[in-house]
Every structure is written in C-alpha cells, then in structure tokens.
Amino acid sequence: MSCIIKYSASHPFPLQNLPYGIFSAPGRSARPGVAIGDRILDLYELSRSPHFAGAGVEPGVFQGDTLNAFVALPPATWSAFRAYLATLLTSDALTADSPLFVSRTAADTQLHLPLHIGDYTDFYASLEHATNCGTLLRGPERALQPNWRHLPVAYHGRASSIVPSGTSFHRPAAQILPPSATQPIFAASQRLDYELELGFVYGGPSTPLGTRLSPAAARERIFGAVLLNDWSARDVQSWEYVPLGPFLSKNFCTTISPWLVPLAALEPFRVAQATHEPPLLPYLRDPDGCNYDVPLYVEIKAPENEDYEAVAKSSLRHTYYTAAQMLAHHSTSGCSMRAGDMLGTGTLSAPGEHGYGSLLEKTHMGKQPFALGRRADMTWLRDGDSVRMTALAQGEGFCIGFGECEGTVLPALPLQ
C-alpha cells in the first residue's frame, strides 16, 4: 500500500526518510515526532494509543522532550521501530485526518533541538577543505600538516551553544590582532564565516570508560545525522588558535537542522570511501566502510536582496575519513561515548570554485570579493545576513532531505 500521507516525489520527507525531531504545537508541549510529508506523526500521542502495541518500544521512551531515550536503545530496536512505522503509515489503521498527525508547516508548529547533546566534537575531515585552507595559510607545498593523512584531526566544541535552525545570534566579540598591529584589541569580529557540515549522532548504550570501538562497531552506533553550521570568527581564530586550537572563535553558536535523519535512510546513497594514501594504521582501516553521496547547498540572504542567493554546492561524499572512522578514532584512547553525543564532519568542500564550504575559501581569506545579488563586494558575513544550508539526495522515485539549517547574524552586543 502507499503512504496514507500524500506528498510529491520531490518531497524531502517521504516514507523512505522518517526523520525524528522534537516539536510543539498548540495544546501539545515539546515532544518527539516523525516527519512524513507535510505532517508530523506525534510519537507521544502514538505511545498512548492502541496502535503502539506492536511498536516493540516502551511507551515512556517517547514521553519526554528529547530523543535521547530512543537513541540510547540498541541499534536493532531502531531498525525494528522504523519498520513498524513504515507498516503503520501504509496500513488502514490510521487515516490522514487522525489526531495523531500535526501540520509540520503550520506557523504555530515549533521545532526544537532534537536531543540533549552532552558532548560535541568537530573534525576536519574534508581533503579539499584542509588543502584549500592550508594552501591559503602556508602555501601549496605545506598545505596539509604531517598528521592529516594519518588521523582524523578534531577539537572539542561547546555543546551549550548548539541551537536549532531559525535561531539568530549576536556577532561575537573577543581578542583580535588587527592587521599590521603588534598588540591585540577587544572588538567585535569583522570576519564572520559559516562552515558547511553534517553532524553525526552517536546512539546505543554508552561505552564504558576505556572501551575502544572498531570502525565496524562504530558504524553500528551512528544513529543518524543533521545539517550543521559551525559559525566561525576568523579574525578571532587566527589570533587564538596557537597552540591549542579554536576556542572563542567557534564556541558562540553552532546551528543544526531540527530533523535527525536515520543513517538507514542514507543507505541508497552509499559510495566508496576515499582512498587513503599512505595506508591508515590498522585501528582505522575499514574494508567495508563507505561514504554517502548527499548533495549539500549553501545560500545567503543579504538585507539588500529580496531572496537567498546560492553560493556553494558540495556533498557528504567529500570526507577523507568516514563517520565510522571519526568515531573509532575518538574512542581509541578509551573516551566514553554517550547517546546524543555529536560528531561534526568539519567543512565539506568539493573540488572547484563552486564547492567551497566556507567564505574563507571562497574569498581567499577575504581578498577576493564576489557578487551576492545587489551586494557587489561580498567577503565576510554582515549584520542582518542569513545563511541557509540544505541537503537533498535524489533516489529512484523519492528524495531524502534534512530540512533547513538557517541562522541570522545580529549586531554585536555593547562591548562595555
């Protein structure tokens, strides 16, 4: 049977997707739901209904305001519940006008962070991005640091400033070393940037301290993914990052899309993983590993323009290290992983000038402005600019989307 909720073949949320999120609506406090077409299946109400008898999940799992309880269940349970949902949505047990469904597009339907994200680690896994940035900073001969082809480079981010799509934020202020100056100043960042990423979410039981995950085991523990914008203050970053890496330049805001797309929904888009040369150490080798060909898009809307302007197209396939390798490397020291932990891929740049996943690359560190609609001299983000990231993978007769990852820059707060 076909799905009881009707949608077009180009809709980002078909039966083959079934992403999870947290929503609220009039008369409904924040609760878990599943997007299907332009509707949301209310999992809280479903868990209290007779239809939940065959779900194979305790009702209390969906009676909180985060997805953590569900994500913490064993991977086999995720698969079984996904199959249950597909059966329910193609049976005559429900109708499209059932009170279990809520309009996803209604103005009074609000989307929230899907998870309590306990820890957030951001990687640097795109060869194109690392090469582009390294070339700008050190020249083509030393573009990649000696360790880059041997391990997935990463830093620990700040989970407290992760926000859902649609959240505006103030331009950050911190220490900056102005050009040609010898002493820093405290000022608002003038080189504000975005970074096009995906965030993978760890699921399943927590790993005990001291436990290592192989790439194969890590792959089974990746519940799904969200779009991620790692907003970055480049002038702050250039002054602070030696010797311990980014801090204030990236901890002020990280935006994610509100729908958590299960990894199972990306299976039709599997592609070969990158060729690793030199060969990786044994603990990172994954003969069965893969990437996913999910096209990614960046658009910017400036206040002087009427609509968004396209600025970049890339793909999730442009990761030198797979998500499973990132997670395996993260755990190799014995670091405990917990349900809801998030791993950012780092900027996903594609080959060619239209594939730059950041303004740092697109403008050659602000030295090559480009036209953005009526704005002829675009370099860094200005107050009032909005950045929107989307993803849409085309299957045979269906699409898999992530929704939007959007945020707007507000003026800096007073410095005194």
Query: Which residues are known binding-site members for Ca(2+)?
Result: 122, 195, 197, 230
Dihedral sign from CA coordinates of 410, 172, 389, 101: negative
β-strand pairing of 222-229 with 196-202? antiparallel
Gap between the terminal Cα atoms of the chain: 63
Three-class secondary structure of residue 101 per DSSP: strand
Q: Where are the alpha helices (DSSP H) in 152-233?
A: 215-220
Buried b (16+ CB within 10 A) or exposed e, 111-131: bebbbebebbbbbbbbbbbbb
β-strand pairing of 169-170 with 405-410? parallel
User: For 354, how many CA atoms within 13 A lie in the half-sphere containing its CB?
Assistant: 6
Dihedral sign from CA coordinates of 14, 117, 254, 334: negative
Binding-site positions for substrate:
124, 138, 237, 241, 347
**Residue 47 backbone class (left: φ over 0; alpha: ψ -120 to 50; beta: rest):** alpha
318 as an active site residue: the answer is no
Binding-site positions:
122, 124, 138, 195, 197, 230, 237, 241, 250, 254, 347
Geometric angle at alpha carbon 401, from 36 and 16, rounded to 5°: 50
**Burial (Cβ within 10 Å: 0-12, 13-18, ≥19) of residue 367:** exposed
Catalytic residue among 51, 112, 116, 129: 129
Residues tagged active-site: 129
